[in-house]
Amino acid sequence: MRLNITDLRRTQGSRVFVTLVPLAVGLVLARFTGVQVDLVVPSLLAAVMVGVIQQALP
Amino acid sequence: MVIMITRTRVLGFRTDALFAGAIFLAVSVLVGAVAGATLGAAGQLVAMPIRGVVGVSALLAIAVAAVSRRLPWQLERETSIRWLEYQDWRTAAYNSASLSLGFATRIGFWMFYLVPIGAFMTGSALKGTLVYSIYGGARSVASLVLAAAAMRSAHITDRVLNLYVSLRTVGDIAFFMLAGYLVGATVTLITGGLNAG
């Protein structure tokens, strides 16, 4: 079965995979690497990613 | 956005897209650097426990909003068409400055908010400069690449625009993961500092 990523938003249950699961993953990653990685690396990652994907803005 | 770049004239020739691109990139990095330095310096003025609480509170408020709202808080505004009338370096510079700030036009993705909040939370003008100028640079380089591709194929812009809905979901996933990371790392820093104290 082919997964259409836009379908992830369409049901309330699937919002868990878009919101809570990534949030939990981020919290767990920070628990083990937070002090070493600092706050700059995730901010830089966000800066690059959003700067690129904003090209798709209508 | 693509039209802004391809219509820009810097020296008055049709072949000066390279100069326009250079201005576009330089202004975006410069404006991003100023915005980032301001936010980083503001963070520097606030001591860590309070800065962390402010940053985490902002992240949590945006995360709650992102769960319930499809589109981010944003100005429903596009890049000014009037800038096309200049037909000189100002078209590239104004457009680039607007894009580099991010919030001056539509944002489209909740993940954008990690840029200003992240710049503030670093608590350093230098690190804030790095974060925001990288955002401006990434956005302008991607715009230039898309503009160059659009000159070769007229359909490329439509194809990229068609990706918006899918990319919004990808952006949401990345936003929540990185926001969770920032919250977790900040809490670790605060509690570590408190325990050490």
pLDDT at B82: 83
Name the residue range of residue B26's domain.
2-196
Average of per-residue pLDDT across B122-132: 96
Average of per-residue pLDDT across B57-65: 94
pLDDT at B47: 87
Contacts of B95 in chain A (CB under 8 A): none
| Whole-Å CA distances, B154 to B104, B133, B158, B160 | 27, 30, 8, 11
Average of per-residue pLDDT across B33-51: 94
Place of tokens 């670093």: B122
How large is the ipTM? Answer: 0.88
Report yes or no: B65 at the A interface, CB cutoff 8 Å. no
Are residues A29 and B184, on separate chains, in Cβ contact within 8 Å? Answer: yes
Cβ pair B7, B87 in contact under 8 A: yes
Q: Is the pLDDT of residue B143 over 80?
A: yes
Q: Tokens for B40, please give them.
A: 């980083």
Cβ pair B52, B186 in contact under 8 A: yes
- The lowest-confidence range among B11-25, B41-55, B112-126 is B11-25
Distance of CA B88 to the CA centre of its chain: 25
Buried b (16+ CB within 10 A) or exposed e, B91-126: bbbbbbbbbbbbbebbbbbbbbbbbbbbbbbbbbbe
Cβ pair B42, B130 in contact under 8 A: no
pLDDT at B138: 96
Cβ pair B99, B112 in contact under 8 A: no
- The lowest-confidence range among B64-68, B117-121, B139-143 is B64-68
Contacts of B184 in chain A (CB under 8 A): 26-31, 34
Contacts of A24 in chain B (CB under 8 A): 180
Task: Give, for B65, the enclosing helix (H) or strand (E).
Answer: helix B48-68
Q: How far is B94 from chain A (nearest CA, A)?
A: 17
User: In chain A, which stretches have pLDDT less than 70?
Assistant: 1-14, 34-37
Contacts of A22 in chain B (CB under 8 A): 173-177, 180
Residues of A with CB under 8 A from a CB of B: 5-6, 8-9, 15, 17-20, 22-31, 33-35, 37-40, 42-58
Q: Which of A40, A50, A52, A57 to mutate to test the interface with B (most CBs of B within 10 A)?
A: A50
Q: How far apart are CA B176 and CA B52, in angstroms?
A: 18
Q: How far apart are CA B125 and CA B148, in angstroms?
A: 34
| Whole-Å CA distances, B131 to B21, B98, B119 | 21, 17, 6
Mean pLDDT of chain B: 86
Beta strands in chain A (DSSP E): none
Average of per-residue pLDDT across B110-132: 96
Q: Tokens for B105, please give them.
A: 């036009």
Q: Which of B44, B170, B181 to mutate to test the interface with A (most CBs of A within 10 A)?
A: B181
pLDDT at B91: 84
Question: If you write DSSP's letter for every residue of B156-184 in order, what string do you get?
Answer: HHHHHHTTHHHHHHHHHHHHHHHHHHHHH
Total domains in the fold of chain B: 1
C-alpha triplet B105, B106, B111: angle, nearest 5°:
120
Task: Give, for B122, the enclosing helix (H) or strand (E).
Answer: none
Closest by Cβ to B142, choosing from A34, A39, A55: A55
pLDDT at B69: 83
Beta strands in chain B (DSSP E): none
